[in-house]
A and B are shown apart, each in its own frame.
Chain A
Amino acid sequence: MKNAFMLLALGVFLLLSYGLYQGLVAAPTEATMGNVQRIFYYHLPSAILAFLCFTVNFLASVTYLMKRNARADALAVTTAEVGVVFCTVVLVTGPLWARPVWGIWWTWDARLTSTLLLWLIYVSYLMLRRFASGGQAPVLSSALAIFGFVDVGFVYMANRWFRTQHPQPVLFGAEGSGLDPSMRPALIWNLVAFTAYAALLVWIRYRMERARQELEQAHALAALAGGGR
């Protein structure tokens, strides 16, 4: 098991290194923005992975509410946490790209504001998990996750529905939008690399959460046994 993990981690490291090479060296320099456009190769995959994690969190939360399944709860908390990490990357790399291109760090347009709101919702989710007492945390946080997931759809549609400072979508956008074919390999390699990395993080964190659940159960059983004496 340990060898398989090390092999997987090595594979992910190699993929990330190749993604870095693609983003910084192999991809062509964009004509109007110059080298700073290369931030895109980290910004977009991170946004896609945050969305993916929050979608899994939503599905796991619904499953937990329907079946009270501890595995679903562990998957929900895991994907919320990994999603917040990727959403943080989006919120940090975005302004660092915006400053040299737009001349401002931030603007309160629909896409940026709803992304910040998304991050706050899932940070609240994690704080609820951490600090709620009385055994109701999984139920309350599942309910929050279901309402919070509405914002994932809103963030995705924000620059399609509203006029925003944020550019129009590169993927699945209107006619004429899209990425130059010469830039696709860098995007695809980074998307593959970060997806593998996210899967590894989810795997590690899920196993930890399951161990924590089992530990909590063992403590509860020990307390019951102690109380029975």
Chain B
Amino acid sequence: MNFLYLAYGATWAIHIAYLVVLTSRAARLKKEVDDLKKD
């Protein structure tokens, strides 16, 4: 049973980590676009 919860937990940990990376990259990109518009 532990292996089952570990596998499901690991799957969601991987997906959540990727979503966090995507969110931070989107924020950085938005900042770059805003900076370019200012220049």
Which residues of chain A have a CB within 8 Å of any CB of chain B?
Answer: 20, 23-24, 35-36, 38-39, 42-43, 46, 85, 88-89, 92-93, 96-97, 99-100, 197, 201, 204-205, 208, 211-212, 215, 218-219, 222
Q: Is B22's CB under 8 angstroms from A204's CB?
A: yes
Which residues of chain B have a CB within 8 Å of any CB of chain A?
Answer: 1, 3-4, 6-8, 10-11, 14-15, 18, 22, 25-26, 29, 32-33, 36, 39
Q: How far is the CA of A215 from the CA of B36 in the complex (A)?
A: 8
Also in contact, A222 and B14, with CB within 8 A (given A96-B7, A204-B22): no
The total of interchain contacts (Cβ-Cβ below 8 angstroms) comes to: 63
CB distance from B27 to the nearest CB of A (A): 11
Q: Is B33's CB under 8 angstroms from A42's CB?
A: no
27 contacts between A and B (CB under 8 A): A20-B8, A24-B4, A39-B4, A39-B8, A42-B8, A85-B18, A88-B14, A89-B11, A89-B15, A92-B10, A92-B14, A93-B7, A93-B10, A93-B11, A96-B3, A201-B18, A204-B22, A204-B26, A205-B22, A208-B29, A211-B29, A211-B33, A212-B29, A215-B29, A215-B32, A215-B33, A222-B39
